[in-house]
Amino acid sequence: MDIIINLADGVPIYRQIVNQIKYLVASDLLLPGEELPPIRTLALQLKVTPNTVVKAYDELESSGVIHGRRGAGTFVSDGRPVLAHEERQRIIEQRIDALLAEAHQLNFTADDILRMLRERRAAMKSGTSGEPTELRRK
């Protein structure tokens, strides 16, 4: 399972695990019914204390993303679509927040952002390789 822990992220480790597993489920990299690694294996792989993995799995289980069968491992639940939408929305909203903060730092207004958004999307659609919009400044 492809999970990366970033200590400088400011986000607690268990939360990062939860988020990334939700992301994997949301983007179909983890299919319903697929088995998740046991706690000890994931802890060894990520080099974190097993209690963190326990916490993450507990939270995932209480929000219905996964379910565990006693002695038989942990599996991804069905009922994906609702969560996936919420999750996807939350992820994009995080990206937008970061983008807005960055833009503000670089002295762009929200209108500039919207304009550039449309320009980039048009460029992507017409298939031209991405030259930075800045070079085409007036």
Partner 1 sequence: MGEIVVDVNDLSRSFGTKDALDHVSFRATVGQVYGLVGANGAGKTTLLKHLLGLLRAATGSVRVFGLDPVRDPVGVLSRVGYLSEERDLPEWMRVDELMRYTQAFHPTWDASFARELLETFGLDRSKKIKELSKGMRAQAGLVAAVAHRPELLILDEPSSGLDAVVRRDILNAIVRTVADDGRTVIFSSHLLDEVERMSDHVTMIHNGRVTLSGALDDVRHGYQRSRVRFVEHFDQPPILDSALAMDGGGRSWSVVHSGSLEQFRHSVLALGGEVVESRDATLEEIFLARAGRNRQQVEVA
Contacts of 95 (CB under 8 A, 6+ apart): none
Radius of gyration in angstroms for the set of CA atoms belonging to the chain, rounded to a whole number: 19
Residue with tokens 């983008």: 99
98 vs 117 by CB, closer to partner 1: 98
Rounded CA gap, 104 and 117, in Å? 15
Please, what is the minimum distance in Å from the beta carbon of residue 7 to partner 1? 5
6 vs 129 by CB, closer to partner 1: 6
Nearest Cα residue to 23 out of 95, 72, 107: 95
- Summarize as ranges the residues that interact with partner 1 (CB under 8 A): 5, 7-14, 39-40, 43-44, 46-52, 101, 104-105
Please, what is the minimum distance in Å from the beta carbon of residue 77 to partner 1? 24
Please, what is the minimum distance in Å from the beta carbon of residue 13 to partner 1? 7
39 vs 84 by CB, closer to partner 1: 39
